Amino acid sequence: MKKVITYGTFDLLHWGHINLLKRAKDLGDYLIVAISSDEFNALKNKKSYHSFDNRKMILESIRYVDEVIAEENWEQKVTDVYKHNIDTFVMGDDWEGEFDFLKDHCEVVYLPRTVGISTTKIKKDLLKVDSR
């Protein structure tokens, strides 16, 4: 069985996330999604609209996702690769090169982002609607 892992906050879920998850799953048999815990988001000065538990529940309902785990810190990626017997690490290409250190431990793949959508865009668009 080929195992794949990806990481993210996955807060305001959109079709770009779904495309990433589908393409990640297509690279193997079993997809693990590590999502930032609320505590880790706080360390990154990031605030999610949905709590960790709600984001986890949403992701677990997606057919491409086999397992959801918590990301507690930046350093856990190598540990996760070994703990979960990961063959392929996947991230969006906006992170290109950032995780090349994992190439000593597994295959690293950067997938192209879905054009025209991002959580940042959604937040900006919602602020425009709210200010009218």
- C-alpha gyration radius of the chain: 15
Would you call 17 exposed, middle or buried from its count of C-beta atoms within 10 A (0-12, 13-18, 19+)? buried
Q: Which of 87, 91, 94 is closest to 115 using CA atoms?
A: 94
Total Cβ atoms within 10 A of residue 47: 10
User: Is 44 an active-site residue?
Assistant: yes
User: Is 25 an active-site residue?
Assistant: no
The catalytic residue among 2, 22, 44, 47 is 44
The catalytic residue among 2, 22, 25, 46 is 46
Q: Where are the alpha helices (DSSP H) in 13-94?
A: 15-26, 38-43, 52-60, 76-83
Active-site residue list? 44, 46
